[in-house]
Structure 1
Amino acid sequence: MREDNQLIVITHLSQLVTFVLGFGSLIIPLVLWATQKEKIYQMDEQGKEIVNFQLSLLIYIIISIPLILLFGLGILLLIIIGVISFVFPIINAIKASNGESPKYPLSLNFIS
C-alpha cells in the first residue's frame, strides 16, 4: 500500500461535481474508493466516510421533499443540506491533505 494524500483529497473534492454537473457526488467517490481502497493507505476509511455522508445526504433530501408542503420547512432543510454538502468536502479535503482523519456531520453509518 502506498500513501497518496492527493488522491484522497481529490476523492473528497469530487463530491463537489454535483454543483457543476447536477449529479455525481456519490458515483465518483464511490468509484474512486472501490478501485483504490486496496492500493492507497487510508482510502478505505475515508472512502467509507464519504459514501456514508453522500448516502445520508440523499436520505435527508428525500425526507425534506414532503416537508416542503409543511410550512416550507423542506426548503429550509434543502438549503442547509446544500451548504453542508458544499462546505464539509472542502474542510475534509484540507484535513486529509494534512494527514488528519476527517469526519462528516450528520453522517449515518451505512458502510462500516
Structure 2
Amino acid sequence: MSDFDNVTTPPPPVSAPAPAEQRTMALVAHLLGIFTWFLGPLIIWLINKDDSSKSFVTDQAKEALNFQITITIAMLICIVLTIVIIGGLLAPIVGLLNVIFCIIAAVKANNGEAYRYPFALRLIK
C-alpha cells in the first residue's frame, strides 16, 4: 500500500439527509469562495464550528476553506512565476478551476452530498 492510495479525506458518514437550511449554508460557503476567496468560508466555518447540530455546514465550510487556501497558494506561486512569463498563463487556469470546482461543490452540497475537492490541501482539520 503506497502513501498515495488515500490522498483525500473521506467525507463524514451520512446518517440522515442534511436539513435544507444546512444545505443552503453549505452551498453559500462554496459559492462565496469564488467571490471572497477564503474569507467567506472562514466566516461560515467560524460561526458554525462549535454547533454539533450543524456538522454538515461545518464540514463543507472547512472543505471550502481548505480549497480556497490551496487556490490562494497557487495564485501566489503564479505571481512569482510571472517573472518567467508562465505565471501569467497559469493564473487564468487556476481561476477557472476555482470557479468550476466551487460550482460543482455547491451543487453537490445543495443535494446534501458531502463534497471533497480533488486537490485541496487539508490544512484545517
Report the TM-score when normalising by structure 2.
Answer: 0.75
Which residue of 14, 25, 30 corresponds with 2:37? 25
Which residue of 48, 54, 60 corresponds with 2:74? 60
What are the superposed Cα offsets for residues 42-91 of structure 1, whole Å, 9 maximum, x if unpaired? 12211211111111111111111121122x21012101111011111111
Unmatched 5+ stretches in structure 1: 18-23
* Structure 1 outlier segments of 4+, above 2 Å: none
Task: Give aligned pairs, total.
Answer: 104
Identity among equivalent positions (%) equals 33
**Aligned twin of 1:47:** 61
Report the TM-score when normalising by structure 1.
Answer: 0.83
Deviation at 1:9, TM superposition (A): 0.8
For the aligned residue pairs, the C-alpha RMSD in angstroms reads: 1.5
**Aligned twin of 1:95:** 108
Tell me the distance in 2 between the aligned counterparts of 1:96 and 1:52.
16
Deviation at 1:41, TM superposition (A): 3.1
Higher Cα Rg, which structure: 2
